[in-house]
Chains A and B, each alone.
Chain A
Amino acid sequence: MKSKNPPEEPAHENNFLESSRRDFLKHSGLLTAIALTPAPLVSAAQKGFDEKIADLYEKVPVSLEVNGVKHQLSIEPRVTLLDLLREQLELTGTKKGCDHGQCGACTVHVDGHRVNSCLTLGVLVSGKKITTIEGLAKGDQLHPMQEAFIKHDGFQCGYCTPGQIMSAVACIREGHANSEHEIREYMSGNICRCGAYPNIVNAIQEVKEGGQPV
Chain B
Amino acid sequence: MKQFQYSRPATQQAVIDAINKPGAKIIAGGTNLVDLMKRGVTAPDKLIDINHLPLKNIAPVKGGLHIGALALNSVVSENKLVVAQQPLLSMALKAGASPQLRNMATVGGNILQRTRCAYFYDTTMPCNKREPGSGCGAIGGYNRMHAIFGASDKCIAVHPSDMCVALVALDATVIVQSKKGTRRIPFADFHRLPGEHPDLDNNLAAGELILGVEIPDNNFAKNSYYLKIRDRQSYAFALVSVAASLELEGNTIKNARLAMGGVAHKPWRLVEAEKALIGKPVSAETFNIAAQIAIQGAKTYGGNDFKLKLAPATITEALKHASGLV
Nearest-Cβ distance from residue B6 to partner chain A, whole angstroms: 4
Contact A171 B99 (CB under 8 A): yes
Q: Which of B45, B74, B104 is A119 in contact with, Cβ under 8 Å?
A: B104
A58 within 8 A of B: yes
Contact B99 A174 (CB under 8 A): yes
Nearest-Cβ distance from residue A119 to partner chain B, whole angstroms: 5
Contact status of A119 and B34, CB under 8 A, knowing A60-B6, A77-B5, A185-B234: yes
Nearest-Cβ distance from residue B70 to partner chain A, whole angstroms: 12
Interface size on A, as a range, is 35 or more
Contact A100 B45 (CB under 8 A): no
Contact B98 A78 (CB under 8 A): no
A residues within 8 A CB of B103?
A: 113-115
Q: Mark A112-138, 1 if CB is under 8 A from B, else 0.
A: 011110011101100000000000000
**Which A residues between 12 and 54 are near B, CB-CB below 8 angstroms?**
38, 40
| Whole-angstrom CA separation of A189 from B47 in the bound complex | 27
B235 within 8 A of A: yes
| Whole-angstrom CA separation of A187 from B4 in the bound complex | 34
A1 within 8 A of B: no
Nearest-Cβ distance from residue B118 to partner chain A, whole angstroms: 13
Contact A116 B100 (CB under 8 A): yes
A residues within 8 A CB of B234?
A: 184-185, 188
Contact status of A115 and B104, CB under 8 A, knowing A76-B3, A77-B47, A78-B1: yes
| Whole-angstrom CA separation of A170 from B100 in the bound complex | 9
| Whole-angstrom CA separation of A186 from B234 in the bound complex | 9
A144 within 8 A of B: no
Nearest-Cβ distance from residue B317 to partner chain A, whole angstroms: 19
Q: Which of B2, B30, B38 is A124 in contact with, Cβ under 8 Å?
A: B30
B51 within 8 A of A: yes
CB closest residue in chain B, given A58? B5
B27 within 8 A of A: yes
Contact A121 B4 (CB under 8 A): no
**Which B residues between 1 and 18 are near A, CB-CB below 8 angstroms?**
1-6
Q: Which B positions have Cβ atoms within 8 angstroms of A? A: 1-6, 27, 30-31, 34-35, 37-39, 45, 47, 49, 51, 74, 97-101, 103-104, 233-235
The 3 closest A-B pairs by CB, nearest first: A189-B98, A77-B6, A188-B234
Further pairs besides A113-B74, A116-B100, A120-B30: 20, Cβ < 8 Å = A58-B5, A77-B4, A77-B6, A78-B3, A100-B39, A104-B98, A113-B103, A115-B103, A115-B104, A116-B98, A116-B104, A121-B6, A123-B49, A124-B30, A171-B99, A185-B233, A188-B98, A188-B233, A189-B235, A190-B98
Can you list 22 A-B pairs with a CB-CB distance of less than 8 A?
Answer: A56-B5, A57-B3, A58-B5, A60-B6, A77-B3, A77-B6, A77-B47, A78-B3, A100-B35, A104-B98, A113-B74, A116-B31, A116-B100, A116-B101, A116-B104, A121-B34, A124-B30, A174-B99, A176-B99, A184-B233, A188-B233, A189-B97
